[in-house]
């Protein structure tokens, strides 16, 4: 069996055990055959036992208890368990078959011993009690945190292989991973939960089946079915209980793709029941439960199909509960995932008729030292393609710190990639950053609001949408001892500073200072009510119209040259005096110059020269006086005129 299983690991094509024909051949009404139990513990054959009990389930770990006589292991065992304690953690193989029958059908269970005990009733020599679980318990030892995806998408097959490999040695236990891989998973996190819980949760969310059949741990598609074992009521099956249940089987999931700003929805995802009873019960639910069941999809969905597949998975695991069948049996070969045909006797007749086909979800086996067998089972309809929901808890992700490892968003949406403290080389996918104000309008289609993408190396606080560990987002940055500065007694300084050194500093009751790395500075002196603007090089003001209003004094100082250029008119008005001084030359050029003084007009110079290309006209309403301490010369190229 082990060699066959190892080949199976490389090839997901699974061949179920076929016991149906041999069970029928060896079945005789009224005869309960004795059972042979062959036991091997990590290569050591256990020849004698007192009692064996095995409880198997498709929804949780299988449990077993094996009771041995005190001297079964060779030497007498006491409470110190000198020999028995060596079995702790060992692999147990139990093969069940019929006694004294050639070519008997058989069924194997493989588990791991997790408990070794010694019990001693009054006046007895005591018993060794070995207990344990299916190897799935090795995935359920302690909570852990790790992630998958981030840099590139993964699928459920990749995740399942890695998770199982971390807990189960495939050379000791058989594993079959044949995932549907409906969705590309951008990022997924095992969050403070065991490997088993994570696999069960992800299987339910992504439409995979996850269970142990006693020999093989299955993840993904249901394996091919065995030929149905016949269970005949009143012969090898008794105490049959058939139950139809009213179950809400129509959840409505939705999701959201932030990159495309798209709400994701799914239509109806009905489950097909072939059996008449299960089909009838399922159809009745439409008339019983009419309330809508809108809820967010339990995955980080990217497409409408992601939502649909997840919704169908949850619908399927709920729909199988509309029909169940349980009973006791003398057939020791039933196990989770096993298919059986139930036949019932016709009233007042020994004839039998087909009743329904079932898939076993739970089986309990008890075998005593003689070989007497007692068994029971629970089952669902065999035709839905789903198993009941496995047992798991949903973790609630809480805020935690992370470090930004990239802000080069490939889609240029202002997202960042972060790495949590518990991550090694891996990180998240690109996640959104919360802002005090963010959006767009018809005029500002992008980046309306406050835009500040964290820098690589920044420590940030991460929260999670719907508290889902696969849906992180950045709440904001966090200062730490290496970069934090501020506070103090009065906590008077607040600031905004960019990576290159641009700063805005607010000092309570004193100032607001805006500076850049080159030395440009705007200083708002709130104490003195002053504003100072400083530029190491050039300051340029561009506008359509400019008004400057100064209520008292205005001083302009230029170290070298000053140039004023006006396209049309210049008008300067002074309420009192205007002084203009030049150390050297003063030049005034215009097409026409008009100087008007309401009272006196004076000008002084060592020499005064007046030149006109044509004429000079001097006119006075009253007197015109020319004074010179020496001679006045009137020269003309032609003649002078004195009117």
Q: pLDDT tens digit string along 439-473?
A: 988 888 888 988 999 999 999 999 999 999 999 99
* 214 pLDDT higher than 80: yes
Q: Which residues 6+ apart lie within 8 Å of 146 measured at CB? A: 189, 190, 422, 423
Q: How many helices (H) and strands (E) does the chain have?
A: 6, 33
Highest mean pLDDT among 196-205, 593-602, 623-632: 196-205
Please answer whether residues 461 and 401 qualify as being in contact, where contact means their C-beta atoms are separated by less than 8 angstroms: yes
Helix (H) or strand (E) holding 238: strand 237-244
Q: Which of 325, 330, 328 is nearest to 105 (CA)?
A: 330
Alpha-carbon radius of gyration of the chain: 46
Which CATH code of 3.40.50.150, 3.40.50.300, 2.30.300.10, 3.65.10.10 fits the domain covering 2-138+223-381? 2.30.300.10
Q: What is the largest CA-CA distance in the chain?
A: 165
3-state secondary structure of 54: strand
Average pLDDT value for the chain:
88
Task: Look at residue 310 in the predicted model and tell me its pLDDT.
Answer: 93
Task: Look at residue 76 in the predicted model and tell me its pLDDT.
Answer: 56
Burial class (CB within 10 angstroms; exposed 0-12, middle 13-18, buried 19+) of 342: buried
Task: Look at residue 120 in the predicted model and tell me its pLDDT.
Answer: 77
Count the Cβ atoms, other than its own, within 10 Å of residue 38: 14
Q: For residue 302, what are the CA distances in angstroms to 140, 187, 263, 407, 596? A: 30, 11, 10, 21, 82
Cα gap 2→174, rounded to integer Å: 8
Cα gap 139→199, rounded to integer Å: 9
3-state secondary structure of 270: coil
Count the Cβ atoms, other than its own, within 10 Å of residue 294: 10
Cα gap 314→311, rounded to integer Å: 5
* 86 pLDDT higher than 60: yes
Provide the token pair at 605. 């110079």
Domain ranges of the chain: 2-138+223-381, 400-438+453-477, 493-534
* 424 pLDDT higher than 50: yes
Cα gap 166→437, rounded to integer Å: 44
The distance from CA 336 to its chain's CA centroid, rounded to whole angstroms, is 33
* 33 pLDDT higher than 90: no
Burial class (CB within 10 angstroms; exposed 0-12, middle 13-18, buried 19+) of 384: buried
- Mutual angle of helices 195-206 and 156-167, in 10-degree steps: 160
Range 490-496 average pLDDT: 86
Q: For residue 373, what are the CA distances in angstroms to 47, 63, 365? A: 18, 17, 7
Task: Look at residue 396 in the predicted model and tell me its pLDDT.
Answer: 97
Handedness of CA 618, 623, 629, 632 (dihedral sign): positive
Please answer whether residues 330 and 380 qualify as being in contact, where contact means their C-beta atoms are separated by less than 8 angstroms: no
Q: For residue 521, what are the CA distances in angstroms to 415, 485, 513, 518? A: 32, 22, 7, 9
Cα gap 230→29, rounded to integer Å: 13
Q: Which of 138, 118, 139, 116 is nearest to 127 (CA)?
A: 118
Look up tokens 């799914």; give the residue: 266
3-state secondary structure of 111: strand
Which residue would you say has higher pLDDT here, 383 or 56? Answer: 56
Handedness of CA 480, 481, 483, 488 (dihedral sign): positive
Provide the token pair at 628. 């010179």
Handedness of CA 31, 32, 34, 35 (dihedral sign): positive
* 229 pLDDT higher than 70: yes
Range 32-55 average pLDDT: 93
3-state secondary structure of 36: strand
Cα gap 14→6, rounded to integer Å: 11
Instruction: Tell me the per-residue pLDDT of 541-570, one tens digit each, with 9 for 90 and over.
Output: 999 999 999 998 989 898 888 888 888 988
CATH topology of domain 400-438+453-477: OB fold (Dihydrolipoamide Acetyltransferase, E2P) (2.40.50)
Q: For residue 6, what are the CA distances in angstroms to 136, 156, 172, 291? A: 18, 22, 10, 49
Instruction: Tell me the per-residue pLDDT of 292-339, one tens digit each, with 9 for 90 and over.
Output: 899 999 999 999 999 999 999 999 999 999 999 999 999 999 999 999
Count the Cβ atoms, other than its own, within 10 Å of residue 6: 12
Q: Which residues of 82-105 are buried (b: 16+ CB within 10 A; e: fewer)?
A: eebeebeebbbbbebbbeeeeebb
């Amino acid at each position: 069996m082990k060699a066959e299983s190892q080949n199976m690991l490389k090839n997901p094509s699974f061949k179920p055990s076929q016991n149906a024909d041999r069970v029928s051949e060896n079945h005789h009404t009224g005869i309960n055959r004795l059972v042979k139990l062959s036991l091997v513990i990590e290569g050591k054959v256990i020849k004698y036992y007192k009692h064996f009990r095995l409880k198997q389930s498709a929804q949780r770990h299988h449990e077993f208890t094996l009771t041995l006589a005190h001297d079964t292991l060779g030497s007498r065992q006491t409470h110190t368990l000198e020999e028995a304690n060596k079995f702790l953690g060992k692999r147990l193989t139990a093969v069940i078959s019929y006694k004294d029958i050639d070519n008997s059908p058989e069924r194997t269970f493989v588990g791991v011993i997790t408990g070794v005990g010694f019990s001693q009733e009054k006046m007895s020599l005591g018993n060794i009690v070995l207990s344990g679980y299916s190897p799935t318990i090795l995935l359920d030892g302690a909570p852990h945190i790790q992630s998958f995806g981030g840099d590139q998408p993964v699928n459920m097959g990749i995740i399942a292989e890695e998770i199982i490999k971390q807990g189960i040695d495939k050379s000791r236990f058989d594993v079959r991973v044949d995932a549907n891989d409906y969705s590309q998973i951008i990022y997924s996190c095992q969050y403070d939960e065991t490997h088993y819980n994570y696999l069960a949760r992800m299987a339910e969310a992504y439409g995979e089946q996850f269970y142990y059949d006693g020999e093989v741990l299955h993840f993904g598609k249901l394996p091919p079915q065995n030929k149905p074992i016949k269970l005949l009521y009143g012969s090898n099956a008794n105490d049959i209980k058939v139950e139809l249940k009213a179950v809400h089987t129509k959840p409505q999931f939705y999701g959201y793709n932030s990159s495309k700003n798209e709400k994701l929805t799914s239509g109806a995802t009905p489950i097909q029941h072939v059996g008449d009873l299960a089909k009838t019960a399922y159809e009745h639910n439409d008339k019983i439960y009419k309330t809508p069941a809108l809820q967010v999809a339990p995955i980080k969905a990217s497409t409408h199909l992601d939502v649909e597949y997840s919704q169908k998975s949850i619908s399927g695991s709920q729909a199988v509960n509309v029909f169940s069948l349980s009973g006791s049996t003398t057939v020791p070969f039933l196990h989770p995932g096993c298919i059986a045909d139930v036949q019932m006797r016709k009233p007042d007749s020994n004839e039998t008729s087909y009743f329904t086909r079932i898939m076993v979800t739970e089986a309990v086996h008890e075998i005593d030292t003689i070989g007497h067998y007692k068994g029971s089972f629970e089952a669902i309809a065999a035709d839905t393609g789903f198993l009941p929901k496995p047992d798991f808890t949903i973790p609630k992700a809480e805020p935690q710190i992370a470090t930004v490892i990239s802000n080069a968003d490939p889609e240029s949406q202002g997202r960042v990639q972060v790495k949590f403290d518990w991550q090694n080389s891996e990180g998240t996918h690109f996640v959104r950053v919360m802002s005090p104000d963010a959006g767009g309008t018809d005029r500002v289609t992008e980046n309306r609001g406050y835009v500040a993408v964290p820098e690589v190396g920044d420590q940030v606080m991460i929260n999670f949408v719907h508290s889902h560990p696969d849906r992180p987002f950045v709440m904001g940055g966090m200062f730490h001892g290496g970069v934090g500065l501020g506070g103090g007694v009065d906590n008077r300084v607040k600031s905004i500073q960019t990576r290159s050194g641009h700063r805005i500093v607010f000092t309570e009751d004193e100032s607001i200072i805006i500076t850049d790395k080159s030395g440009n500075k705007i200083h708002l002196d709130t104490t003195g009510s002053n504003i100072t603007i400083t530029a190491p090089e050039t300051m340029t003001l561009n506008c359509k119209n400019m008004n400057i209003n100064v209520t008292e004094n205005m001083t302009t100082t230029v170290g070298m040259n000053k140039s004023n250029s006006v396209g049309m008119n210049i008008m300067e008005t002074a309420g009192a005096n205007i002084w203009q001084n030049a150390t050297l030359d003063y030049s005034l050029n215009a097409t026409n110059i008009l100087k008007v003084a309401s009272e006196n007009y004076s000008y002084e110079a060592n020499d005064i020269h007046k030149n006109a290309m044509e004429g000079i006209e001097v006119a006075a309403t009253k007197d015109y006086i020319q004074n010179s301490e020496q001679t006045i010369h009137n020269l003309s190229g032609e003649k002078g005129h004195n009117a």
